[in-house]
Structure 1
Amino acid sequence: MQVTTGDVTLSEAYWNKASTAATLQVTVHNTGTTAQRVRLSYTLPAGLTDAGTKGCAAVGGGAYRCGAWSTEAGVRFSTVLRLRVAGTAWKEMPLSGSVQVIADAPGVPGEATDDQGFAVLFPPGPPVPGITLAADEVAFDISGSPSTLTLRLGNTGRVDAAGRVEVVLPAGVTVSAPPLGCVAVDPTRTRCDAGLMLAGTTAEVRLPVEATPQAQREAPLSGAVIGQLDPSSGPTRRVQMSFRITSAAALATPVVSPPAPTGSQGVLQAGGATGDGGLTSVERTAVILIAVSTLLVVLALTLATTSLRRRLGGPPPEPAPNPAD
């Protein structure tokens, strides 16, 4: 069983509302070889509540539980969770939630489980003139090696200002080696001085980040960055935004097997990888059957063509009589 999610992405309109309606796309895939009964649940971070998703009810602590569905082997289906984001939720960023599925099959012991996180992505704000802020997505490849977070702080005002950015990362994700001008405030927070920024210029900060295997399995996650400009005259300008953290490990295809506890995000278990490009047993069987069927069709066509040619050619000619006889 595998579950995948989208993200809760908010537009600039968020800053003008007391609360904002949002949706979260959830896709469930029965990757097993038998029909299963699936139960879905999800946990929302602070500032987010369910806005009336049909068939789901709150169970406390930001958690919600939905009804059960029956799904045949190989079937994939999607649903949409209806959410509401409070106008003050941005103060708690970075925000992430999670979705979990639990499945069981009649007569088969054990359960199949999978879960995936989702990020709540806020645009830069609250809007302040004279400052811009941008952050690129952080992506960890299948090896889990460290990645890079790139930030850009812009001084769009008319006065020079001292620039500073502060990065807040979720649990399990850290700045591995703060570069010159940056310092770790605590395990999840790093502060960098951008120096004096002339009016109309942009400073770029690149931070090496790493994530534990557990954090990578829980991706996508979100981090937050706070940008600040202190001009030589005038008030301090400050904005913040969130950015997405993804991992290839969280998207790995799970091994097809009878219902049993599985790794989060369908990560391949040790010894579970195959040498055929990651095909499941069902896919391998289908490929073999298609190949055999193709060979049989080719053989039948060959035999039919040979027979037809013989008929069209008629009997072989009789030998010509010898003139000497």
Structure 2
Amino acid sequence: PTTTAPATTAGPSAPTTTPPVRTSAPGPGAPAPGRLGVRVSTDDVVLTDAYWNAAGTTTTLRITVTNTGDVTEQIRLSYTLPAGMTDAGTAGCAPAGGGGHRCGAWTTAAGARFSTLISVRVDGDAWRRMPLSGAVRVSATAPGVVAGSVDDNEGFAVLFPPGPPVPGIALRADGVAFDISGSASELAVRLGNTGKVDADGRIEVVLPDGVTIPAPPAGCAALSATRTRCDVGAVRAGGAATLRLTVSATAEAQRDAPLAGAVVGRLDPRSGQARQLQMSFRITAAAAMATPIATPAPAGSQGVLAAAGAGDRPGGGLSTAQRGAVALIVISVLLVVLALALATVSLRRRLTGPSGGR
């Protein structure tokens, strides 16, 4: 896209562009021209095992922006980095305080999509603060064409590998994914004992704000609103223990996804030193990519969608058409039962009545 410098800063100097994605020609009932719309999506910051052998790691955060409106727009971008993570000198972006940064504007045609890379540095001790998540926000205007503005936002997770490396212990956590209903999901954590002696196992789960374990199972206890500790018992040498937890999230937390959580695994052998590993895992939600039914364009934060059609009836009851269909089915069944009863009575009379030829 063409880069237009605002009064204070300019846009990142070299966005990676992709061919424009044009919308189809409007048909009957399509909205009138002059509609603003914008959508942003982010990749996660994924760290490799090399992170554990460096004082700091410089990597990139890829951001993709789409003009979902039907007019040429001026799109501006801002992002917030978590503690332990700093900007590594992204051209055209300037600090805005509190870990926030603001970038310049792009002139983007209707339906066009582009990507840009934000250079970031993850401190060598940032793992002590996990889980870490950040956020990206875009806003779009069309001065002189459409009044007002629209915006969209999405989070990103900073994913650490298991570590710091310690022999004799292994740890793995599957991601958590909330479907469009927003109902609870499951987190599975596997703690492995790769040592030569048995050890007592313990797992702690750390979740971001708005994400909780509403009913910890036996052996687990909530240490705080976002931290839960579970004793998994003795883990034999060469064996593993698997923990499964039910996880819930508020609608706001799901809209902010992707987010990051963290798990800490610990083995305490009867003799020898305790061993500990920790890692982060990804939390995603379908609601973050959904467009509310009442909103004609994806121009803002998206909420959790209710079940299809449920909002038309208080309490989720049957509609008038459905009640009518049920009534017809009931009447049909009653008629069939009545016909069978009459046929049975008639047959009994013929079998028990006097024979006319005797």
Secondary structure, in 3 states, of the residue corresponding to 1:186?
coil
1:160 — aligned with what?
198
1:196 — aligned with what?
234
Secondary structure, in 3 states, of the residue corresponding to 2:265?
strand
d(CA) in 2 for partners of 1:64, 1:256:
30
Per-residue Cα deviation, 1:299-322 (whole angstroms, up to 9, x for no partner): xxxxxxxxxxxxxxxxxxxxxxxx
Q: How does 1:26-175 map to 2 (within 5 A)?
A: 26-107=63-144, 108-175=146-213
Gaps of at least 5 residues in structure 2 are: 1-37, 310-358
Letter in 2 for 1:32: G
Letter in 1 for 2:289: L
Q: How does 1:118-267 map to 2 (within 5 A)?
A: 118-253=156-291, 257=297, 262-264=299-301, 266-267=302-303
1:4 corresponds to 2:41: yes
Larger mean Cα displacement after TM superposition, 236-245 or 104-113: 104-113
The alpha-carbon deviation at position 263 of structure 1 amounts to 3.2
d(CA) in 1 for partners of 2:285, 2:55:
33
The alpha-carbon deviation at position 60 of structure 1 amounts to 1.4
Per-residue Cα deviation, 1:195-245 (whole angstroms, up to 9, x for no partner): 011111100000000100000000000000000001100111011000000
d(CA) in 1 for partners of 2:224, 2:305:
33
Secondary structure, in 3 states, of the residue corresponding to 2:118?
strand
Per-residue Cα deviation, 1:257-284 (whole angstroms, up to 9, x for no partner): 4xxx9431x45889xx9xxxxxxxxxxx
Letter in 2 for 1:15: W
Q: Indicate conservation of the 8 Å contact 1:34/1:73, yes or no.
A: yes
The alpha-carbon deviation at position 147 of structure 1 amounts to 0.2
Q: Indicate conservation of the 8 Å contact 1:32/1:256, yes or no.
A: no
Letter in 2 for 1:38: I
Change over 3 Å in CA distance of 1:269–1:33 after alignment to 2: farther
d(CA) in 1 for partners of 2:70, 2:188:
43
d(CA) in 2 for partners of 1:67, 1:10:
28
Change over 3 Å in CA distance of 1:236–1:124 after alignment to 2: same
d(CA) in 2 for partners of 1:268, 1:160:
45
Letter in 2 for 1:151: V
TM-score, length-scaled by structure 1:
0.79
Change over 3 Å in CA distance of 1:78–1:256 after alignment to 2: farther
d(CA) in 1 for partners of 2:160, 2:305:
35
Larger mean Cα displacement after TM superposition, 55-64 or 223-232: 55-64
Q: Note the aligned Cα RMSD (angstroms).
A: 1.8
Letter in 2 for 1:100: R
Q: Which runs of 4+ in 1 moved over 3 A?
A: 253-257, 266-270
Per-residue Cα deviation, 1:14-73 (whole angstroms, up to 9, x for no partner): 000000011111000111111111110000001111111111111211111100111111
d(CA) in 1 for partners of 2:268, 2:175:
27
Letter in 2 for 1:144: G
Letter in 1 for 2:173: A
The alpha-carbon deviation at position 180 of structure 1 amounts to 1.1
Q: Indicate conservation of the 8 Å contact 1:41/1:63, yes or no.
A: yes
d(CA) in 1 for partners of 2:203, 2:209:
20
TM-score, length-scaled by structure 2:
0.72
d(CA) in 1 for partners of 2:75, 2:105:
5
Identity %: 64
Change over 3 Å in CA distance of 1:268–1:130 after alignment to 2: closer
Letter in 2 for 1:109: A
Letter in 1 for 2:245: L
Larger mean Cα displacement after TM superposition, 173-182 or 127-136: 173-182
Number of paired residues? 268
Gaps of at least 5 residues in structure 1 are: 274-325
